[in-house]
Structure 1
Amino acid sequence: MTAPATVSTAPDTHRAVRIWLLCVAALVFCMVVVGGATRLTDSGLSITEWKPVTGSIPPLSAADWALEFDKYRASPQYQAINKGMSLGDFQFIYWWEWGHRFLGRLVGAAMLLPWIFFAARGFMSARLAAGTFGIGLLMALQGFVGWLMVASGLKPGMVYVAPLKLMFHLSLACLIFALLVWTALRLMPERRREPVPDIVRRGGIAVLCVLALQIALGALVAGNKAGMRFNDWPLMDGALIPPMAVLFDKATIGEAFIDSLALVQFNHRLVAYGLLALAVWHMLSARGTAYAKGATVLLGLVTAQAVIGVVTLVLVVPLWAGLLHQGFAVLVLGHALSHVFALTRAPRIEAVPAGRAVPAE
């Protein structure tokens, strides 16, 4: 949502490239949602090997399925949690993980092949070509990070992926999504924007930064399955603040911030309250400006996400609620990016002492 502005009459020479980037961003959004389903169905460790090319072909015969099942039965997760599961149950979790990896390959192809076409036809400047190529490299890194995450859950004694690696994996996906959206916004036709007070600009940026932190903290909650505990709200097991012995139940403070079920959920709650308060303040500070609508929509989305989070918690994370919570977070991020883009491209109104006139732009 951008502020009212006068659109330039210059030709839109980047329309095709912009549509391409937004389509890839939509695929990344789908990737995040499918990744959430893979996590919530405990499917992420069902494929125990990383084969970037040949892994795109799923098992095609009974013998192939038996081989893949044998590999999974040798994993710590099977031995500790799923021992005795049927082949049909294994196929269910296998297809989720295979679909997630296949979608990752599709995202890579959707980024690379049009990039080659646009670069060869001169649709992009050297700077734009280099920037979009860099996003493509981040996608390749994301695939490797995804495998490192899976590999962490295949180590002896592990039954799930390491929460810190999951946080990095989701954060990198959101960074890629943000770069795609931001680059597409930069390719919009130039437009004259209304001046923005500095306090509104800074407030929008602050909301975006805290939102990014909240998404990362949510990944720690997901990685620890912390949403399965402390399912009352606004209290946690009947207490406004859980006892210190419960929050810091690990050997070190650093471990507690990463692996304590109570502390990672408590931090996620606290930052959610802070984000909501910040969004309210930003909306109030933007009143009377051309950016009030964008700030109001942002507050509405943040509020809706908070409600979805509470519902997800008290229902003990059913699949539909967990997916809605994760997917909606990316949608909130998308609007926040668009809003902040408008704020940072608008002429700036400097704060001045009372009694002094603000110079015209």
Structure 2
Amino acid sequence: MKSFLKILTLIACINTFAMEPETDLTNPKYSELEILDHVLNPSSNLITINSQAETLVLIKLIRENGTIEILENLDLETNCAEGIATSRLDNRYFKIKNIQTYEIHGEVECGKTNYWIFNASEPTGQVIAIYDIAMKAVNKMSRAGIINSWTSKVNFRFPADGDYYNWNTVNVSRGDHWDVVGHELGHAIYDQGNIGAFGGGSHKIDQCYSGALALSEGWASFFSAWLSIDITDINAKFEYLVPRRAPITIEYIPADVCAGPRNEWRVTGFLWDLIDLAYDNESAETAFETLWNINKNKDYGDVKELARDLIRNGFDPILINVIYKQNFLEEL
């Protein structure tokens, strides 16, 4: 029995640490976890008239840099008689919780446009920011016709003691760090799609390690980029991912980053070059869903296996070799 328990403990550790980011991205003011009430309210409301006299609720998130974003809409239940709308952040694909699943409650005036305003600097706003990333994933995968691959509900836990994925749970310390949230969700989608192995051990984004770990980490960042970065952006980059090297540019990888397919940053760059529309000595312009349908259930050991599989599935070998060499600085 002791041996069996020891094996279970080892498996649990591997499953967690294989998917931990390079550093603990927890902001110091969240170092002591704040237990939020599961019922959350907007910081403020704004009501305007619309020409159709429709009852609309739009979510505004004020970022720390002052920019205002209109986010993916909540699935609301509206009670006009009581002037309130509610949404439980739990659907077929994901839920967001700490001890209990979060619920958003806010005032509404029916027949008008209601803006619910949240601040990203506040924990309530960060729950909304997590919801936004998760719904982007649902909506983009639905439009791409691949949502059926999302077979298991993903649990988001916020606030968490760090940013990592384990056992179908995405742990988030800062919900407004869009690229980190997308990266950890990317691990969950990679897992459900059985794209490849996870690997294990420590990893620095500019160093080399196992091919399996580089693939799993690089693919997770690729998924985050697909969710939130314009594929025509010639300066595509992450804002918060790995502060030591931020911003993490994915069109142009710094020369001091370890060369070869055992580096996650270069894996992200390779995959991004397959789908982006920003010409940088290559013109692949492949749809994300095309890659997904080829890659799912392949359980690749590293990105070399993935690249060679693309050629077997009809991709131009010259093009794949050009993109491969451009990113990994070696021949396929």
Give the TM-score of the pair, scaled to structure 1: 0.29
Give the TM-score of the pair, scaled to structure 2: 0.31
Which is greater in Rg?
A: 1
Where relative contact order (Cα < 8 A, 6+ residues apart) is larger, the structure is: 1
User: Which protein is richer in helix relative to its size?
Assistant: 1
